[in-house]
Amino acid sequence: MLTERLKQLTPSPTVSLDTKIKELQTKGIPIINLGLGEPDFATPKIISDAGIDAIESGFTHYTTVAGIPELRNAIATELQKENGLKYNSDEIIVGVGSKAILYNIFLALCNPGDEVLVATPTWNTYLEQIKLAGGIPVTVPLAPPFKLTAAELEKNLSKKTKIILLNSPSNPTGAVIEREELEQIARLAVKHNLYVISDEIYERLRYAKTPYISIASLGEEIKKRTIVVNGFSKTYAMTGWRIGFAAGPKEIISALSSLQGQITSCTSSIAQKAALAALKESKESVTEMLTEFAARREYLIREFSKLKKLSFSAPEGAFYFFVSIKKLLSEKYPTSEAWCSGLLEKEHLAVVPGEAFESPGYFRLSFAASFTDLKKGIESIKKFIV
Ligand code: PLP
């Protein structure tokens, strides 16, 4: 009954974890969930108020498909100020979260059989979206500290390679690609006439004081073939508002707008007004959230360092630790999936197994959770591994 396209779709790997969590919760067992990929903070009030204003003032209808001009202008200003990226507002599209935008980009750029290079560990949505769009994801496996290099990409090039996907800082590893390496990757992309999709959604959530480098800022040649993807979900704790954006060459953005016009139309008018307030008025809240994330990260670095059977690279960005449990796998728990299931059943702690990121032997722990939960989480891990 279902199409071939859908038969290829791997269901979200966190679904079985979620089912198990719910099962335990219905039995009345409290679960500490460090598996989530969203900030645990409330959306800053100033942003929510702008949404409420939009509703109360009747700003509740369709807008231009690509987003209201004020918002696209504000995004252009922000990209220029924060990332040295110069885009006109017609080179920017706002949509229903960066996830939906990414899918539209793959639909717009992948002909059947076109290959997209994706470094692993990776957020598995990329792989599924590429397949759905008719492309072929080619994984580029990385070793700790999981920093993508041009050399690794080059090894995986073929005549069919069309796109390089970058995600820096990365979900799930938190790794950031440094400027020198981005320059090499840009050279490679230009030399082989490839597109680059640069998912920069965790760009503000970084723990070094150095400025963020977007590959698109490294010269006109690379900018012409790059689509920068970003959004409001992570930086402004706005996951439920469903709003993200892309910036890139006008022809591509205009194609994305035609596509979006036939699929979702604009994103919510209310979310657009809220996002405008996020850009203009919520710098302080972002700094506060980042300070809290940084303190949690420090705490976890200290605690994980004491657990000699585990190994990890300190995340440079995002809010995840990607921890190796290879030394702990045994007959009882032969895979990271089994190990994480055991941790959930015995200690009632949920983390996501590496299999969900194409990298067995690890788990991803999110520190988008309170200190109380993180402390309980560490205690549970200690008990589980003795
Ligand atoms: N990109 C990465 C790497 C993510 O981890 C996520 C969410 O988990 C997204 C994009 C999607 O974010 P949204 O659709 O909420 O903008």
Asked whether the CA dihedral 329, 331, 335, 339 is positive or negative, the reply is negative
Locate the ligand 1 atom nearest the alpha carbon of residue 96 and give its number.
14
Distance 216 CA to ligand 1 centre (A): 19
Contact in structure between 89 and 260 (CB atoms under 8 Å): no
pLDDT at residue 203 tops 80: yes
Pocket test for ligand 1, best of 201, 239, 242 (most atoms within 8 A of CB): 201
Distance 102 CA to ligand 1 centre (A): 9
Instruction: Provide the mean pLDDT of the chain.
Output: 96
Distance 229 CA to ligand 1 centre (A): 10
Pocket test for ligand 1, best of 105, 173, 203, 233 (most atoms within 8 A of CB): 233
Strands (DSSP E) along 200-298, which ranges?
226-231, 244-247
* pLDDT the model gives residue 376: 97
**C-alpha closest to that of 124 among 362, 356, 335:** 356
* pLDDT the model gives residue 126: 97
* pLDDT the model gives residue 128: 96
Average pLDDT over residues 209-237: 97
Q: What is the pLDDT of residues 4-15, one digit of tens each?
A: 888 888 877 777
Pocket test for ligand 1, best of 98, 173, 206, 366 (most atoms within 8 A of CB): 98
What whole-number distance in Å separates Cα of residue 222 and Cα of residue 186? Answer: 6
Distance 233 CA to ligand 1 centre (A): 7
Contact in structure between 336 and 328 (CB atoms under 8 Å): no
Locate the ligand 1 atom nearest the alpha carbon of residue 232 and give its number.
16
Q: Whose CA is nearest to atom 8 of ligand 1?
A: 37
* pLDDT the model gives residue 10: 84
Given CATH 3.40.50.620, say whether it is the number of domain 4-42+284-385: no
pLDDT at residue 182 tops 90: yes
Contact in structure between 133 and 110 (CB atoms under 8 Å): yes
Residue 99 to residues 66, 141, 308: CA-CA distances in angstroms?
15, 23, 37
Residue ranges, comma separated, of all CATH 3.40.640.10 domains in the chain are 45-281
Q: Which residues line ligand 1 (CB under 6 A)?
A: 37, 97-99, 123, 167, 171, 199, 201, 231, 233, 239, 244
Q: Whose CA is nearest to atom 7 of ligand 1?
A: 37
Asked whether the CA dihedral 307, 310, 314, 317 is positive or negative, the reply is negative
Contact in structure between 35 and 14 (CB atoms under 8 Å): yes
**H-helix or E-strand spanning residue 23:** helix 14-26
Q: What is the pLDDT of residues 252-299, one digit of tens each?
A: 999 999 999 999 999 999 999 999 999 999 989 999 999 999 999 999
**C-alpha closest to that of 244 among 110, 385, 125:** 125
Contact in structure between 218 and 186 (CB atoms under 8 Å): yes
Distance of CA 165 to the CA centre of its chain: 12
The token pair at 241 is 């508002």
Neighbours of 283 (CB within 10 A): 10
Average pLDDT over residues 354-365: 97
Distance 123 CA to ligand 1 centre (A): 9
Residue 48 to residues 37, 44, 234, 289, 290: CA-CA distances in angstroms?
21, 7, 15, 16, 19
Cβ-based burial of 168 (10 A; exposed 0-12, middle 13-18, buried ≥19):
buried
Q: Whose CA is nearest to atom 5 of ligand 1?
A: 171
Q: What pTM was estimated for this model as a whole?
A: 0.97
One-letter identity of residue 150: A
DSSP symbol at 317: B
Residue ranges, comma separated, of all CATH 3.90.1150.10 domains in the chain are 4-42+284-385
Question: What angle in degrees, to the nearest 10, is found between the helix axes of 336-347 and 14-26?
Answer: 20
Contact in structure between 349 and 111 (CB atoms under 8 Å): no
Q: What is the pLDDT of residues 85-120, one digit of tens each?
A: 999 999 999 999 999 999 999 999 999 999 999 999
The token pair at 142 is 């990385």
The token pair at 278 is 């996020």
Distance 267 CA to ligand 1 centre (A): 16
Q: What is the pLDDT of residues 29-55, one digit of tens each?
A: 999 999 988 999 999 999 999 999 999
Number of alpha carbons in the 13 Å side-chain half-sphere of residue 157: 17
DSSP letters for 162-208:
EEEEEESS-TTT-----HHHHHHHHHHHHHTT-EEEEE-TTTT-BSS
Residue 168 to residues 69, 200, 381: CA-CA distances in angstroms?
28, 6, 28
Contact in structure between 71 and 94 (CB atoms under 8 Å): yes
Q: Which CATH number fits domain 45-281: 3.40.50.720, 3.30.460.80, 3.40.50.2300, 3.40.640.10?
A: 3.40.640.10
What whole-number distance in Å separates Cα of residue 132 and Cα of residue 112? Answer: 10
Q: Whose CA is nearest to atom 11 of ligand 1?
A: 99
**H-helix or E-strand spanning residue 293:** helix 283-306
